[in-house]
A and B are shown apart, each in its own frame.
Chain A
């Protein structure tokens, strides 16, 4: 297995008797994009703040880059959900100062900040004050601020909040590029389409507890309602193990009961039914999210 960048074991964090994070365990591996999901108030931000050594855990252990929280600050990039920048300072000044606080020498920080501003199309704004930037530009600037010190592990809490679709695409592209450069990204968000587009593995937490954890495709398969989409010019007779058939033009949606899609396909081949398209239907992550979160809170 590749190296563990982040290891959280049995983490518990309480405030005034309220348990925000409850016996949470997960791992993040080198080079992956890891999705941290959950409804509002699920405990995502608390978990992240503990990882960042802003909060201390009440129980359990956290290892960041193989060390306790707070020891490897300079190798981590963090974009908090509650974020802002010095409004009265110039864009470049802010980036250089924040990079310096992460241990990057001034002489290195300056050219690197300029390169990044170029990459997010803010190069012309380097000498403007932060408050002169639009909301979207400030969001991009914050994104840059979290990685200008060239961290190995990036923790992004709702990175695309307040960005228009064009800039969301830009951000997605940047995250993929960062992964390509070998960086590990932890992405905490509500936006399921982004998670589906970017993440390999996810952790869904609700009420501070892990509800779903593992590779995204596996989770989706596990939660697929046993449905198969089939296109065929031939008429379909009753098939064993198929509970319901819906037809639209030449596409049939079959609900399976007691058999796997594989077994159905074998039956079709044996019966010599021409198959033009065969697809195991998946559900959008959003539906899994809603189902799991509601199911748990109803229980």
Chain B
């Protein structure tokens, strides 16, 4: 136990002095300050930008009404929606850019709900149409115009208007699209930072192990401590290093947040949901443990730094899957694919870190992913230490998969 702490302290002190670590740690708050100043300077423009980004809606829309409900178009919609007698005429209008989108309502629309959308744009247009509040209102108003009064129709189109009453004195989100944007962007960005920290610190671990192996210090170490003590010490020391980075970033983020209140009149939504924050840290620790042990084992397998890094690439790729799925993350953080990935130990920490700030994640996913991780970590530790011990002393040639499997079988 004592030796594990000595190793942990050594790893921490050696790596905290690395230029890469210092630069990375300082860069994030610096970028925040720069971002804040730019935002303060271009405050108005930024608002408009967010408005455009989060509400890109088609301008002129054509309608071919095979059902008959949309004829005539209600006066309130007449300047935006235009009736066309048939599909050909409407499509010609899209071709000639008179319209951005053409909706074709089939006769069986009420049963099927299907609407054909013609547009020069991509599939993205369809998604925007589906989500757009104004399109929804257009449909509801026309479908229900003879049956329901105007006020209720309006409510049906937009049943919930959340009014957030924050119980904290500061940090009340104020209105406006900038605030809405920040509400999503800041926690998401924070999640990405945590993920990056996992990779930088487990990357240090990979490097530390590979260096001890290539510089041949390893045999001296193994004559002093067990492979398990060595691996555990490294994981502990470099985990603490990652936490240091996270803490520095958070402290500076709070500073920035105050600055934002003063400069922009907008609160950075860092702590509006403290459970997200705490869970974020839990996933950070669990994710770090899984990846650190994996990187330790992989580092021991390669004969050179480059080879170890190549091997590690396989795992890094898996962990970046959630980042590649950012698009889905924004549109539907609770979609089945993301929920499945939340239950897979290698993607669980990163997916959950990104999902949590975006939405109310089902409790079963939170509990499930944590349990899966808690089961995985001892297994990975056990297997990792075995592979670590075997890989460390094989110089010159990389152990084959069969040898790795044999090492795992041997007690």
Contacts and interface: CB of A to CB of B under 8 A. Distances in A.
Interface residues of B, number: 21
A101 B7 CA distance: 8
Nearest to A79: B220
A89 B17 CA distance: 11
Given A97-B10, A101-B6, A54 B216 contact: no
A83 B220 contact: yes
Interface stretch (B132-140, B222-230, B279-287, B357-365): B222-230
A53 B223 CA distance: 7
B220 A146 contact: yes
B221 interface: yes
B10 A54 contact: no
B3 interface: yes
A45 B212 CA distance: 19
Given A70-B226, A101-B3, A102-B224, A86 B219 contact: no
B393 A54 contact: yes
A88 to B, nearest CB: 8
A260 B246 CA distance: 83
Interface SS, B side: helix
B215 A85 contact: yes
Given A101-B6, A101-B7, A86 B217 contact: yes
Interface residues of A, number: 26
A254 interface: no
Nearest to A80: B219
A80 B10 contact: no
A86 B215 contact: yes
A102 B212 CA distance: 17
Nearest to B389: A54
Given A97-B10, A100-B6, A101-B3, A84 B223 contact: no
Nearest to B6: A100
A76 B222 CA distance: 12
A98 B215 contact: no
Contact of A98 (B14, B216, B224, B393): B224
B223 A83 contact: no
A73 B215 contact: no
Interface in B338-395: 393, 395
Interface string A138-155: 000000011000000000
A54 B14 CA distance: 26
Chain A CB within 10 Å, residue with most, of B7, B221, B223: B223
Contacts of B216: 80, 82-84
Contacts of B215: 84-87
Contacts of A102: 224
Contact of B220 (A88, A89, A98): A98
Contacts of B221: 101
Interface in B1-20: 2-3, 6-7, 10, 14
Contact of A78 (B3, B223, B226, B395): B223
Interface in A64-86: 70, 73-74, 76, 78, 80, 82-86
A73 B224 contact: yes
Given A76-B223, A84-B217, A86-B212, 14 more contacts: A49-B219, A53-B223, A54-B223, A80-B219, A80-B220, A80-B223, A82-B395, A85-B215, A86-B215, A86-B217, A101-B3, A101-B6, A101-B225, A103-B2
Interface of B: 2-3, 6-7, 10, 14, 211-212, 215-217, 219-226, 393, 395
Which 3 pairs between the two chains have the least Cβ-Cβ distance?
Answer: A84-B216, A80-B219, A84-B215
26 contacts: A49-B219, A54-B219, A54-B222, A54-B223, A70-B226, A73-B223, A73-B225, A76-B223, A78-B219, A78-B223, A80-B223, A82-B395, A84-B216, A84-B217, A85-B215, A85-B220, A86-B215, A97-B6, A98-B220, A98-B224, A100-B6, A101-B3, A101-B6, A101-B224, A101-B225, A145-B220
